[in-house]
Chains A and B, each alone.
Chain A
Amino acid sequence: MYKWLLGTVAVVLAGCQNEDARYAPIEGMVYCAEANPVSFNPQVTTSGSTIDLISKQLYNRLLRIDPVTGEFIPELATSWQINKDGTEVTFKLRQDVQFHTTAYFTPTRLFNADDVVFSFNRLFDVYNPYHFVGEANYPYFQSVGLDQLIRNIRKDSEYQVTFELFNAESSFLANLATDFAAITSQEYAMELMQSERMELFDQYPVGTGPFVYREYQRDRFIRYYSHPDYWEHQVNLDQLVFDITPNGTTRIVKLLTKECDVTPHPSATQLDVLRERSDIDLQQQDNLNIGYWAFNTERVPFNNPEVRRALAHAINVEKIMQAVYYGQGVKATSMLPPISWAYQEQHNLPGYNPDRARELLAEAGYENGFEMSIWAMPVSRIYNPNARKMAELMQSDLREVGVKVRIVEYEWNTFLQRVDEHRHDSVLLGWAADTPDPDNFFSPLLSCAATFSGKNPANWCNPEFDFLLTQALDTTDQAERKEFYVKAQQMIAEQLPLLPLAHGKRSQANDANIQGITLSPFGGISLAHASKEP
């Protein structure tokens, strides 16, 4: 019986091998992704795991920042000009850019000024038909206050656009260069509007980037094909597949069994194992990021800065560095990482001192401690490779000072959503910068605007702090700006809306036959130049 079965299979197989040449195996690369994307439009999210998957693969921006020199490089814009008082920025646009042709959309024209005007109008203009599609929530732009900055976006000609600003702002160009400022297709948007399927716009993407959307199955995979008419260069990979694997160990196993070609953020415990393998390359890079422990400052007792200080004193960060980062990160000495130009070491940050913690708690009226929750992010990101473990270490530290901790975990996207709703007491989270501009560490995280868009995990709105940030943005001189940012750093170390813990290194493990993926110290990953040797 069994032999017979085997025989049949063999015959069937042989039959097919001869006849079927049109299904040439498609060469491609599999990237083990950490979570489902929350959207296919980078304008509507700040989730780093989503940005990695969609932003640089499917879209282009007007300009980007060179990771090494920090200079602006033209992308969809060929050049730009800023008027004298800094309130008008004019972009000349590239004329040969093709949008994606997909199963659901075929472009009839090339990229032009209409697309730029549409993409940005959607974010700020309540009269834009797409403004209220989804939840009208554009977290990055709202939290850095771009919606308060842009007066108008003017189409000068088919290939020239001017941004009119209320006032000059030093980080404006940097913000346009982030992964969130993607250019979408106006023609596609209008087509969907006519057929009244506008809600599909953020689910079925059309961009100008190196890859074209093909298929997405939740919890399983995303499939992209290469964009045959990509304007910048030829794309080497025929196919790019994101294998959605939330579990870090599974990602490593998949890398070892060759089911995945690339695995981001391999857990620090595995790095030694990976280093020993000759068939696996390990890349590491310093990165602009911060892992922190944020308190919900609107809740009792975390509204009291002394309680926050006490809790911070209770934590043995050295132990965390050892047990969670395994030397793959540096202990934070400020909100900003040392590689940022505005960095200043903060001596006022509380160190490990349980006795002092108990004293402070007693002074605040909590001799007998209290009960609190620590929300631990369920995925590993650069800034925090293992929040669960960190939470357990902190749980045992805090028990020493009489604080009872409950650890809370949810699936990643649910987790972020609930943190946005400020349902937590405290949360272990982090931020990876999108631009080298220091403002990127403050405005999107701790400004009042960020509180309202839900992206401020400390729920901390301090007008004084906001004023510092505004002053810094109104200044163009770097030395002067630095002074403001130093003050901002001092204020954080004093008020402790969040406790900066560590700056992680960005690491990535990939199969040795994968070439052309370079890690950047900020922003999401780009796979445009990736190639796979047979």
Chain B
Amino acid sequence: MANFKLFTEQSNTSPLSRLWRKFRANHVSLVGLWLFLALTVLAATAPMLAPYGINEQHADALLIPPSWHEDGDVRFILGTDDLGRDVLSRLMNGATYTFGLSIVAALVTTLVGVLVGTVAGISRGLRASLLNHLLDITLSIPSLLLAIIIIAILGPGLMNTVWAIIFALLPQFIHSVRNLVVEELSKDYISAFRLDGANHWQILVRGIFPNIYERIVVIFTMALSLAILDIAALGFLKLGAQPPTAEWGAILAENLGLIYLAPWTVALPGILLFLAVLSTNLVGDGLRNVLKERRAD
């Protein structure tokens, strides 16, 4: 039956570009995305961009307020801390430590999580049930606590924190991916595919992954925002990055004593942390909404 459509382009565009068009329509999410990208670029290039070294101490310039203040100094745009270190340089490098390492942690988690989660989704029997039981237990323990447990064993330190956070985020990730896979597997088109004689691998690669990767991205953003919060919280508790590492949470904790004298040294890392998490959440939320709308269509 001939079916005439006036606007054929629309249905011919790929799902990805349709996704983008919908995402773009939400301005708040878009702002989040730009912010997110800016932070990512900063995290990657901060050591090159920063005007001074992280631990470069200027003995002649202690506690200089930001440059727009009347006592400010143009050399130090955001002022200096009590050891004469440039706040701007430290904060920029903080993006690498806090945001960059969080992205790495979340990526590793995604990789492992997707692998294990898929296996868990496909496999049946005793193995699956044991895995699920274990998942249930670890799931009931929040990621920060799990990270603290791991740090209690490994000892405080930034790299230990990253490992701890990866381990701590994994159970949730595996659980979510497994649920996605199970959900897809029960759909009719997969059954049809299987009846056509497709093997496990083909079902996974051609059937399931193309349908769940967008939702994996959403899970990734959730993992990322948790990772940022956890790294910063551990740094703040002095269990994670140890001073003088320029991790935002650690900077904040280190400068707490200056909260009256130099409030900007406490305010700025907090604001950056907030923006990092907010932008991640905005992107995640935007994506989720778009996906939900599409399913409703």
Contact = CB atoms under 8 A, between A and B. Distances in A.
Interface of A: 248-249, 252, 267, 269-270, 272-273, 316, 318-319, 322-323, 386, 388-389, 392-393, 395-396
A373 to B, nearest CB: 13
Contact of B83 (A248, A318, A392): A392
22 contacts: A248-B257, A249-B256, A249-B257, A252-B260, A267-B257, A269-B82, A269-B257, A269-B258, A270-B257, A270-B261, A272-B261, A273-B260, A273-B261, A316-B59, A319-B57, A319-B59, A322-B59, A323-B59, A323-B84, A389-B82, A393-B83, A395-B244
A386 B257 CA distance: 10
B159 interface: no
A270 B257 CA distance: 8
- The majority secondary structure among interface residues of chain A is helix
B45 interface: no
Contacts of B259: 249
A393 B57 contact: yes
B203 interface: no
Contact of A392 (B59, B62, B244, B258): B244
B55 A323 contact: no
Contacts of B82: 269, 323, 389
A323 B62 contact: yes
**Which 4 A-B residue pairings sit nearest by Cβ, starting from the closest?**
A273-B260, A319-B59, A249-B257, A269-B261
B83 A270 contact: no
Contacts of A322: 59, 62
B155 interface: no
A517 B147 CA distance: 47
A273 B243 CA distance: 26
A115 B260 CA distance: 50
Nearest to A269: B261
Contacts of A249: 256-257, 259
Contacts of A318: 59
A319 to B, nearest CB: 5
A249 B266 CA distance: 13
A388 B238 CA distance: 13
A416 to B, nearest CB: 20
Contacts of B57: 319, 393, 396
A389 B258 CA distance: 12
Interface in B57-106: 57, 59, 62, 82-84
A395 B59 CA distance: 14
Contacts of A316: 59
B83 A389 contact: yes
Contacts of B59: 316, 318-319, 322-323
Contacts of B62: 322-323
Contacts of A396: 55, 57, 83
B244 A270 contact: no
A306 to B, nearest CB: 27
Contacts of A392: 83, 243-244
Task: Tell me which of A248, A273, A323, A393 has the highest count of chain B C-beta atoms within 10 A of its own C-beta.
Answer: A323
A389 B255 CA distance: 11
Contact of B260 (A248, A270, A386, A393): A270
A268 B113 CA distance: 50
Contacts of A323: 59, 62, 82-84
Nearest to B257: A249
Interface string B216-259: 00000000000000000000000000011000000000001111
A248 B261 CA distance: 14
Nearest to A396: B57
A210 B62 CA distance: 45
Nearest to B244: A392
A318 B257 CA distance: 22
Given A249-B256, A269-B260, 19 more contacts: A249-B259, A269-B257, A269-B261, A270-B257, A270-B260, A270-B261, A272-B261, A316-B59, A322-B62, A323-B59, A323-B82, A386-B257, A388-B243, A389-B83, A392-B83, A395-B244, A396-B55, A396-B57, A396-B83
A393 B55 CA distance: 10
A213 B261 CA distance: 38
Nearest to A249: B257
A323 B83 CA distance: 6
Contacts of A319: 57, 59
Nearest to A248: B257
B62 to A, nearest CB: 6
A386 B82 CA distance: 12
Task: Tell me which of A269, A318, A388 has the highest count of chain B C-beta atoms within 10 A of its own C-beta.
Answer: A269
Task: Tell me which of B82, B256, B257 has the highest count of chain A C-beta atoms within 10 A of its own C-beta.
Answer: B257
B56 to A, nearest CB: 8
A316 B84 CA distance: 14
